[in-house]
């Protein structure tokens, strides 16, 4: 038995092992049966709480020696915690550890499992009810529990692709970064297109003015030059008009 099942004691693999969950900290671990003869450890009570109160089984709160059932119940509370984000007995105020443990026990025992699992998949309530019903020396039906969760997995139409939430976060961030780059490039392209359109429009206007001025330059000076007696200020006035057409 591990005897201290909690989120802190699970680690996620890195790189190619990112789909593997590792369990650590076996400092409180204990054999549930004698490794030599296979005889189950004896039932005891009036024991101090071993493990973490938030995820501890009810039997542990009541001072009963832990067995295989208790680790499973702890795991059930962890799953509820992950699904709902918190547990009802978190944040209770107390003057010392003993009082806090007592308050957690009372709160944990008073909340019906169906109420605890309200709003999440019903399989979690079934799981916890089963765990609390296991007898001290009884071997848990691990196959049943795995099948219970697998059925829900299939009902939700999930696939075993080994792409978990903590991996999806990285891929989503990468996707988000790529989308941001695409948007930035699109903005740059749009700005370039706008500039090209403006330049093209300006070029067209310049060509129009240039065409008009060619006519003006071609005709006006000739008319003025035909009159040799035309005063210089008239020629200057004609040039001034030509320059105005470019503004």
Active site residues: 4
Bridge partners (DSSP) of residue 21 are: 12
Residue 169 CB contacts under 8 Å (≥ 6 apart), including other chains: none
Query: Pick from 237, 199, 201, 197: which is nearest to 221 by CA?
Result: 237
Cα four-point dihedral sign 153, 154, 160, 166: negative
How far is 101 from 56, CA to CA, in rounded Å?
A: 10
Left (φ > 0), alpha (ψ -120 to 50) or beta: where does 15 sit? left
Asked if 139 contacts 121 with a C-beta cutoff of 8 angstroms, the reply is no
Q: Per this entry, what is the length of the chain?
A: 247
How buried is 238 (Cβ within 10 angstroms: 0-12 exposed, 13-18 middle, 19+ buried)? Answer: middle
């Amino acid at each position: 038995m591990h005897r201290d099942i909690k989120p802190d004691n699970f680690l996620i693999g890195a790189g190619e092992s990112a789909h593997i969950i590792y369990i650590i900290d076996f400092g409180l671990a204990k054999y549930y049966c004698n490794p030599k003869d296979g005889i189950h450890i004896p039932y005891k009570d009036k024991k101090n709480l071993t493990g973490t109160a938030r995820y501890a089984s009810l039997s542990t709160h009541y001072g009963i020696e832990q067995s295989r059932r208790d680790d499973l119940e702890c795991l059930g509370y962890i799953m509820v915690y992950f699904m709902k984000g918190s547990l009802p007995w978190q944040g209770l105020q107390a003057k010392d550890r003993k009082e806090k443990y007592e308050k957690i026990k009372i709160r944990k025992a008073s909340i019906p499992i169906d109420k605890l699992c309200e709003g999440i998949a019903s399989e979690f309530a079934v799981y916890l009810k089963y765990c609390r019903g296991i007898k001290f020396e009884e071997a848990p039906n691990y196959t049943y529990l795995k099948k219970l969760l697998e059925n829900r997995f299939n009902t939700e139409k999930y696939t075993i692709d080994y792409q978990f939430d903590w991996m999806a976060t990285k891929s989503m961030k990468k996707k988000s970064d790529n989308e941001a780059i695409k948007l930035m490039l699109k903005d740059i392209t749009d700005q370039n297109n706008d500039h090209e359109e403006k330049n093209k429009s300006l070029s067209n206007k310049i060509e129009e003015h240039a065409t008009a001025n060619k006519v003006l330059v071609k005709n006006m000076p000739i008319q003025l030059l035909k009159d040799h007696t035309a005063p210089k200020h008239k020629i200057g006035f004609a040039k001034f008009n030509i320059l105005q057409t470019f503004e």
